[in-house]
Amino acid sequence: MANNILVFGGSRHIGYHASLRFLNAGATVTFLLRSPATFDGDEDIQKHVKSGKARLLKGDALVEEDVRNAWNEATKESPVDLVIFTVGFTGNQKFKLTKGLMMTTNDIVTKCLLNVLCTMPKPDNQPLPKFIALSTSGVTRSSRSTVPLALKPVYSYLIQHHLQDKLAMERIIYHCAGWEWNSRVDGEPSVEITGENWKERAGLPQPGSLKDAMIIRAALLNDGDCVADVLTALGKKDKAPYRVADGDVSGYAISRKDVAHFVFDAVSNHWEQYGGKGVGIAY
């Protein structure tokens, strides 16, 4: 179980649902939010705000000083032992027949990640916190080969530009975790996304020092119910609600609530099995 958690991208979807599970289990969760008012009418979050367990900080993960402030606030009483990074694509998107979906800014995820990693406290002789980052199926060439045939055009054409940002995110985590990256097969992310000489950026964790990272490659996400909770309510705890495995899992979809369930369950019960790896998840 993680006790002190820092969340980036937690205003909605997977980051939100995972955070709520940890809060309900007694953890302290610090959110960096561009608009803390997002939670004004959220009774589930507000009860934890009143208890002091949910901390809402105004800031933008694209601004390095805001991220540094988040670390400072989150570590006032104890070190952060888990980071949940579920920053996704924001802003306007346009569809172009020859290029698929185009974003106005194509490096949001990577910029935020670098800010988070480079401002992360790195005390001597202390391990860095567990770090969970949300990625997607089909993000690399080798990963794309495992997606269902009917979805290949989605990854290779429709959301190809979104995947470049996630590819850069994965590459940076691989570097900091000391995992082997197959450049020959999967290539390298564009310097337009990572920036020049990103490996030399001040504060970036040294290769191999981010030992407890986990990348989650999820199938196409939807807003369906949490199947894991439904099965539990029906007394069918022995039935697996979704499939998880090292590397990639070929599948069409997964609900955001089930990915959040996996995040909580993996940290609380199965970190030795899934920690320090890239895992796939799908129905």
Q: Kindly report the CATH number assigned to the domain that includes residue 60.
A: 3.40.50.720
Query: What is the model's pTM?
Result: 0.94
In this predicted structure, what is the pLDDT of residue 170? 98
Lookup result for tokens 């060439």: 141
- Specify whether the CB–CB gap between 8 and 34 falls below 8 A: no
pLDDT in tens, 155-205: 876 677 788 999 999 999 999 999 999 999 999 999 999 999 999 999 999
Is a pLDDT exceeding 70 seen at residue 97?
Answer: no
Instruction: Report the SS3 class of residue 130.
Output: strand
pLDDT in tens, 200-220: 999 999 999 999 999 999 999
Amino acid at 160: Q
Is a pLDDT exceeding 60 seen at residue 91?
Answer: no
How would you class 43 by CB atoms within 10 Å of its CB: exposed for 0-12, middle for 13-18, buried for 19 or more?
exposed
Is a pLDDT exceeding 90 seen at residue 229?
Answer: yes
In this predicted structure, what is the pLDDT of residue 90? 59
Domain span including residue 145: 4-282
Mean pLDDT, residues 244-259 taken together: 96
Q: Of 123, 128, 106, 138, which is closest to residue 218 (Cα–Cα)?
A: 138
Domain count, the chain: 1
Both structure tokens of 205: 């964790």
pLDDT in tens, 119-168: 999 998 899 999 999 999 999 999 988 999 998 888 876 677 788 999 99
**Looking at per-residue confidence, does 102 or 143 come out higher?**
143
